[in-house]
């Protein structure tokens, strides 16, 4: 039905395209439009999905974005943290190497260890073997503390002494440290008072107490341990063969 002005009735659908979408020609044109659309979105230099990522990045939604792409700002921050330079060389540490540099002990030296604890502790080789034994008893911190105190005594620079004393205190004296050594309350009180202005001898009393503890407690067990006996037997056998 036509209106008075000869036009289409209101609400009537427009006339169909000369080429129906369902015909082969219509499907080809539809496919061409799809390809053109894809070609426009995949312009040279663009990455699929990049625009969506950039828009999310501009909204600072990094920590909540669902993507795991490299342009995510939270990953960028983490990469920057991983690339931070190492700690400055002036930041001291009391970390002791796994073992001190020392020549292989001789049969005479190892035999002398059984004569006194002093003979054992006076040589790097003796301290290395004894420290290995302490590690099996989970008391290596006693030797580490003693060695750190020995290193502190060699310092003359006041600022270095203060810094090393602070590190030793945090590592071996503080009750919060997992490597805390066993000291009586009197020695701890003296150390706490002297930490205001520490000297290279601030831990002398504590060092002597730990030395005595190792002598009386760990040293007898070390002399009866398989570690010491096997070492002594090995050196004795080499001496006979030579």
Q: Does domain 107-241 have CATH number 3.20.20.120?
A: no
Residue 88 is predicted with a pLDDT of 42
Average pLDDT over residues 106-119: 97
Per residue in 153-178, pLDDT (tens digit) is 999 999 999 999 999 999 999 999 99
Domains of the chain by residue range? 107-241
**DSSP string computed for the chain:** ---TTS-PPTTPPPPPPSS-TTSHHHHHHHHHHHHHHHHHHT-TT--TTHHHHHHHHHTT-GGG-S---TT-HHHHHHHHHHTPPPPPTTS------SS---PPPPHHHHHHHTT-HHHHHTSHHHHHHHHHHHHHTT-HHHHHHHHHHHHHHT---HHHHHHHHHHHIIIIISTT-TT-----HHHHHHHHHHTTS--TTTTHHHHHHHHHHIIIIIHHHHHTSHHHHHHHHHHHHHHHH-
The answer, yes or no, to whether residue 151 has pLDDT greater than 90, is: yes
Position 58 scores a pLDDT of 43
Question: Is the confidence at residue 17, as pLDDT, over 60?
Answer: no
Per-residue pLDDT at 161: 98
């Amino acid at each position: 039905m036509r209106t008075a002005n000869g036009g289409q009735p209101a609400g009537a659908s427009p006339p169909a395209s000369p080429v129906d979408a369902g015909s082969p020609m219509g499907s080809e044109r539809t496919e061409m439009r799809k390809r053109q659309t894809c070609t426009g979105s995949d312009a040279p230099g663009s990455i699929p999905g990049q625009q969506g990522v950039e828009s999310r990045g501009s909204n600072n939604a990094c920590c909540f974005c669902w993507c795991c792409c490299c342009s995510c700002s939270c990953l960028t921050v983490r990469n920057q943290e991983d690339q931070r330079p190492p700690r400055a060389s002036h930041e001291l540490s009391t970390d002791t190497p796994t073992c001190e540099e020392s020549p292989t002990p001789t049969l005479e030296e190892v035999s002398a260890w059984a004569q006194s604890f002093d003979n054992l502790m006076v040589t790097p080789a003796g301290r290395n073997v004894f420290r290995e034994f302490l590690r099996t008893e989970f008391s290596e911190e006693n030797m580490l503390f003693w060695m750190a105190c020995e290193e502190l005594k060699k310092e003359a620079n006041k600022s270095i002494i203060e810094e090393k004393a602070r590190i030793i205190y945090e590592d071996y004296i503080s009750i919060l440290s997992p490597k805390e050594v066993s000291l009586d309350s009197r020695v701890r009180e003296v150390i706490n008072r002297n930490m205001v202005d520490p000297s290279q001898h601030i831990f002398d009393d504590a060092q002597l107490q730990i030395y005595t503890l190792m002598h009386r407690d760990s040293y007898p067990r070390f002399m009866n341990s398989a570690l010491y006996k096997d070492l002594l037997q090995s050196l004795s056998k080499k001496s006979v063969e030579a």
